[in-house]
Chains A and B, each alone.
Chain A
Amino acid sequence: MSTVALEKKEHPLDAYLRMERLPHIWCSGCGLGIILASFLRSLLKSGLNLDKVAVVSGIGCTGRAAGYVKLDSFHTTHGRAVPFATGLKLANPELKVVLFSGDGDLVAIGGNHLIHAARRNINLTVICVNNFIYGMTGGQLGPTTPTTARTTTTRAGNIEESFNIPYLVAAAGAVYVARWTAAQVRQLEKSIAEALLKKGFSLVEVISPCSTYYGRMNKLGTALEMMRYYRDNSVVKPDIDLKDAAIKLGGQIVTGKFVDIERPSLFNI
């Protein structure tokens, strides 16, 4: 058997990651790697000065994203990424402040901050990664867990209604709202790039597979099968009435750019 010496090659995004911190802590099959790479490519595409870009995360699996990007980055408290980012942006309006956090962090414990930031229309871009579950703590019910889905704290199935994030933030006043899955990388990158350049409060929800907990507990198959499901069951409906865009267990996932409007931003910054 002959051996082939592997040549060490650089990834085009290496320069924008804290390589000394890799490998990351995310499970194999998690969508976060795809989403983080999409964000970085969108950022490069946006033409923003990277010295003036700050990333703020809360706590959770997605919350670790801030720690991997080679930018000014802040890993804050659970739920408080939005108000921290609000202070940062107001103190230095030159900054493009991006929030990269999960559904539990942004919509449960940080839900009040999220809607108020949308209402104020402060110029922030939120990338909200929704995996329908609390992954870091081992698979508990979240505010986005679909009705009837199983988690470690809803063994018999979730009896609650889940939040429909685009509907929520659009109602609160966000000027840019989109949802894509981790299987729609082209659309996702285009949306994030648009959101980064939008003046005002923008949010891109990204549906991400958590095969370790959400997938396993709801018998959704491997990470690859979950990605196939997203590919085969995502429908692009940008003009849908957002109240009909809720995500149901085993249902279609409505995706698209839903909101792209103009409204004065807070302090016009």
Chain B
Amino acid sequence: MSEGKPLVGEFFLSGDEACAEGAISAGCRFFAGYPITPATEIAERMSDRLPEIGGTYIQMEDELASMAAVLGAAWGGVKSMTATSGPGFSLMMENIGLGVMLETPCVVVDIQRAGPSTGLPTLSGQGDMMQARWGSHGHYSIIALAPNSPQELFNLTIKAFNLSEKYRVPVLIMSEASTGHMYEKVVIPPPDKIELIHRRKPTVPPDKYLPYKADADLIPPMAVAGEGYRFHVTGLTHDERGYPAMNAEAQEKLIKRLVEKIEKNKADIIQVEEEGIDDAEVVVCAYGVPSRVAILAIEQAREGGIKVGMLRLITVWPFPEEKVREIARQVQAFVVPEINYGQIALEVERCACGRAKTILVPHMGGAVHSPEMILEAIRQAVE
């Protein structure tokens, strides 16, 4: 490993290791975590790498503490992250909500295993997708990305930091055991080829600074501790000064802005991949590892004369509603393979709005779909 700087070149890495390297290339210099399969390798890699490059790794007493420490570090002025899996993700929900409310840039990685509860610790699941969207109490919007390869775990970890810095929101990376533990070639570009976004800083003197007075794009500039701004922030509903404001008007103003700063910037945030959709009668809508299995099913279906395309969701939250609506006008059906009993399929169905059928291909977890399962659903779609 290179001493004192991000790696550059081609490497054979697991998804978890690639995620850690992506974080380092993104400028992450703080990691707080707690061991959990199948995300532990991210913590292990960070514990080796961060001290080499002037960062800090700390193993906390649990995931409640890990998430709180990540927020604290972000307010200390450092890009920070944690990584976990289902049981830990549940514990992090409380402080993910605080992160949303304080508008704290940070990244949370969930290498999903099959649940509920302890479930199948070493085996894949995608059962946390709705938890990613709604897991902390109250109404809010959040960003979640779904990589499907070690290279993409590297790339999307950088993207996650950029989005979190730009929109001042925790960004979630929703991967799964099979991608986290998958070894593939990962290309790490030199630092000058990696675009990094940093949080906007206040330009006014401390006595004029209002921590939650947003600019036109609905995002407020962010001071951090120790810069002389002497600001106050709270998880209570607050006004532009950051002071508690216990009334419906303040709630309306704040929560609307927290939601709209994400929803009104969807065009900038959302990334999808489309393949063979122009002539398609059926579209497979997949994210994460099922999107890789689907490739073979789609090839076989096309060989059999069925026109099938693929919509791969790289951004899962905010949900690419417009894209699904647009495709729903031209196809007969969506086939949605996911390693749960139907979560993102509900969103697809909602956006298809009866214009196209939605066929869920569920898998309860512990393995990935076989191509045949997806192929069968594609055939069913055109019957």
Binding site for B on A (CB under 8 A): 18, 20-21, 50-52, 54, 56, 66-67, 70-77, 79-80, 82-92, 94-95, 112-113, 116, 267
Q: Are B69 and A90 in contact (CB under 8 A)?
A: yes
A57's nearest neighbour on chain B, judged by CB, is B234
B235 CB-CB contact with A under 8 Å:
yes
Q: Are B75 and A74 in contact (CB under 8 A)?
A: yes
Q: Are A88 and B76 in contact (CB under 8 A)?
A: yes
Q: Across chains A and B, which 10 residue pairs bring their CB atoms closest together, nearest first?
A: A91-B76, A87-B72, A87-B69, A83-B65, A75-B234, A83-B68, A87-B73, A88-B72, A91-B73, A80-B68
Please measure, in the bound complex, the distance between the C-alpha atom of A47 and the C-alpha atom of B347, giving whole angstroms: 57
Flag the segment in B221-229, B269-277, B289-297 that touches A: B221-229
Chain A residues with Cβ below 8 Å from B373 are: none
Q: Are A113 and B75 in contact (CB under 8 A)?
A: no
Of the candidates A66, A80, A86, A91, which one forms a contact with B232 in the assembled complex, judged by CB atoms under 8 Å apart? A66
Total contacts A to B, CB within 8 angstroms?
A: 141
Please measure, in the bound complex, the distance between the C-alpha atom of A18 and the C-alpha atom of B233, giving whole angstroms: 13
Chain A residues with Cβ below 8 Å from B70 are: 87
Chain A residues with Cβ below 8 Å from B76 are: 87-92, 95
B58 CB-CB contact with A under 8 Å:
yes
A52's nearest neighbour on chain B, judged by CB, is B226
Q: Are A84 and B232 in contact (CB under 8 A)?
A: no
Please measure, in the bound complex, the distance between the C-alpha atom of A89 and the C-alpha atom of B225, giving whole angstroms: 10
Q: Are A76 and B32 in contact (CB under 8 A)?
A: no
Q: Are B225 and A54 in contact (CB under 8 A)?
A: yes
Chain A residues with Cβ below 8 Å from B95 are: 77, 80
Q: Are A91 and B230 in contact (CB under 8 A)?
A: no
Q: Are A70 and B30 in contact (CB under 8 A)?
A: no
Please measure, in the bound complex, the distance between the C-alpha atom of A54 and the C-alpha atom of B77, giving whole angstroms: 13
B112 CB-CB contact with A under 8 Å:
no
- Most chain B C-beta atoms within 10 Å of own C-beta, residue among A67, A72, A76: A72
Q: Are A86 and B69 in contact (CB under 8 A)?
A: yes
B80 CB-CB contact with A under 8 Å:
yes
B56 to chain A, nearest CB (A): 5
Q: Are B65 and A113 in contact (CB under 8 A)?
A: yes
Binary contact track B45-66/A, C-beta < 8 Å → 1, others 0: 0000000000010101110111
Q: Are A67 and B78 in contact (CB under 8 A)?
A: no
B243 CB-CB contact with A under 8 Å:
yes
B231 CB-CB contact with A under 8 Å:
yes
Q: Are B62 and A75 in contact (CB under 8 A)?
A: no
Binary contact track B30-41/A, C-beta < 8 Å → 1, others 0: 101000000000
Chain A residues with Cβ below 8 Å from B321 are: none
Q: Are B230 and A51 in contact (CB under 8 A)?
A: yes
Please measure, in the bound complex, the distance between the C-alpha atom of A82 and the C-alpha atom of B231, giving whole angstroms: 19
* A80-B65, A80-B68, A87-B70 known; A18 vs B232 contact (CB < 8 Å): yes
B71 CB-CB contact with A under 8 Å:
yes
Binary contact track B231-255/A, C-beta < 8 Å → 1, others 0: 1111110000001100000000000
Please measure, in the bound complex, the distance between the C-alpha atom of A70 and the C-alpha atom of B77, giving whole angstroms: 20
* A83-B69, A113-B65 known; A88 vs B225 contact (CB < 8 Å): yes
Q: Are A95 and B232 in contact (CB under 8 A)?
A: no
Q: A50-B230, A51-B226, A91-B75 are in contact. List 7 more A-B contacts (CB 8 A).
A: A52-B226, A75-B233, A83-B61, A84-B71, A90-B72, A91-B80, A92-B78
Chain B residues with Cβ below 8 Å from A95 are: 76, 225-226
B106's nearest neighbour on chain A, judged by CB, is A87
* A21-B243, A73-B232, A87-B70 known; A92 vs B65 contact (CB < 8 Å): no
- Most chain A C-beta atoms within 10 Å of own C-beta, residue among B60, B77, B226, B227: B226
Binding site for A on B (CB under 8 A): 29-30, 32, 56, 58, 60-62, 64-66, 68-78, 80, 94-95, 97-98, 102, 224-236, 243-244
A86 to chain B, nearest CB (A): 5
Chain B residues with Cβ below 8 Å from A54 are: 225-226
Pull 26 A–B residue pairs with CB atoms less than 8 Å apart, ordered by A: A18-B243, A51-B228, A72-B229, A72-B231, A74-B72, A74-B232, A75-B232, A75-B233, A80-B65, A80-B68, A83-B64, A84-B69, A86-B32, A86-B60, A87-B73, A87-B75, A87-B76, A88-B72, A88-B76, A88-B225, A89-B72, A89-B76, A90-B76, A92-B76, A92-B226, A112-B61
Q: Are B98 and A87 in contact (CB under 8 A)?
A: no
Q: Are A67 and B60 in contact (CB under 8 A)?
A: no
A63's nearest neighbour on chain B, judged by CB, is B234
A21's nearest neighbour on chain B, judged by CB, is B243
Chain A residues with Cβ below 8 Å from B66 are: 83
Q: Are B61 and A267 in contact (CB under 8 A)?
A: no
Chain B residues with Cβ below 8 Å from A85 are: 72
* A51-B228, A94-B226 known; A83 vs B78 contact (CB < 8 Å): no
Please measure, in the bound complex, the distance between the C-alpha atom of A230 and the C-alpha atom of B66, giving whole angstroms: 39
A135 to chain B, nearest CB (A): 17
Q: Are A90 and B230 in contact (CB under 8 A)?
A: no
Chain B residues with Cβ below 8 Å from A91 are: 29-30, 56, 72-78, 80
Q: Are A87 and B71 in contact (CB under 8 A)?
A: yes
Q: Are A90 and B226 in contact (CB under 8 A)?
A: no
A124 to chain B, nearest CB (A): 11
Please measure, in the bound complex, the distance between the C-alpha atom of A18 and the C-alpha atom of B58, giving whole angstroms: 34
Q: Are B65 and A77 in contact (CB under 8 A)?
A: no
Chain B residues with Cβ below 8 Å from A267 are: 56
Of the candidates B29, B32, B77, B234, which one forms a contact with A67 in the assembled complex, judged by CB atoms under 8 Å apart? B234
Q: Are A74 and B230 in contact (CB under 8 A)?
A: no
